[in-house]
Amino acid sequence: MTNKVEIRCLSKFFGSVQVLHGIDLTVKQGEIVCLIGPSGSGKSTLLRCINQLEGAQEGIVRVDGVIQGWSVKNGKLHELSSREVIAQRSHIGMVFQRFNLFPHLTALENIIEAPIHVRGIRRADAIEHACELLTNVGLESKREAYPSELSGGQQQRVAIARALAMKPRLMLFDEPTSALDPELVSEVLNVMKSLAESGMTMIVVTHELGFAREVADRVVFMDQGRIVEDGPPEELLTSPKNSRTKSFISSVLQ
């Protein structure tokens, strides 16, 4: 399999505080990687650096072999313009903890907004694709509903459909179930499982170890801005080698 994401020596500071310490990570085409770890370990920041929502001070991120945020001219790196960054970012879907839907737009309108205005897709084509996506996430009857009329789980499924409407090559999920009531978690995880089965490359920050065990090809444990352990879920979640990983998993499973 070819490499979809390559991260090399990535370091990120907020002021004088270093939150990522020389991260090296490779994700292959079609692979599902779950990032786990305590709050403040750098998981969400890593996702935001991949999607250029945060800039890193050191290191590089490549997606499909292309350096994110920079171009190479005459052997030197040159920072991309805002428009070029947006163009790169449009190939990466991201779903956040909070659903971030536009409250004044219906479910359908939320989904077609970016394809029309960023990609220049014809409105009729965007609507047709959006209706297919709403059917795929089990919300075909909610196309005219506003976010305030939807449950948290439904809003998150609309957010996933909205990300997929851009036909991304990579999907990033930042704790997509953490803001949901427990009974609504499974409906979102089921949509993510279906997406994984379709062959989409996914990097998922999650505290749902059951989901990681069932769906992930690899689980990466992060702590204090570093990758501590990386391996298949049946190994890392059952018999982790690192003592810090062991204590974290024990605390989550209590």
pLDDT digits (tens, 9 = 90+) for 49-75: 999 999 999 999 999 999 999 988 888
Amino acid at 166: M
Mean pLDDT for 142-171 is 95
Whether the predicted pLDDT of 254 surpasses 70: no
What distance in Å separates the CA atoms of residue 157 and residue 163, rounded to the nearest whole number?
10
Q: What are the Cα distances from residue 78, in Å, to 72, 74, 75, 179?
A: 6, 10, 10, 39
pLDDT band at residue 153 under the 50/70/90 scheme: very high
Mean pLDDT for 134-143 is 95
pTM of the model: 0.93
What distance in Å separates the CA atoms of residue 97 and residue 50, rounded to the nearest whole number?
17
* pLDDT attached to residue 124: 97
- 192 in Cβ contact with 211 (< 8 Å): yes
Whether the predicted pLDDT of 205 surpasses 70: yes
Average pLDDT, the chain: 94
| Torsions phi, psi for 218 (to 5 deg) | -140, 150
Q: What are the Cα distances from residue 205, in Å, to 95, 177, 200, 211, 229?
A: 10, 10, 16, 11, 15
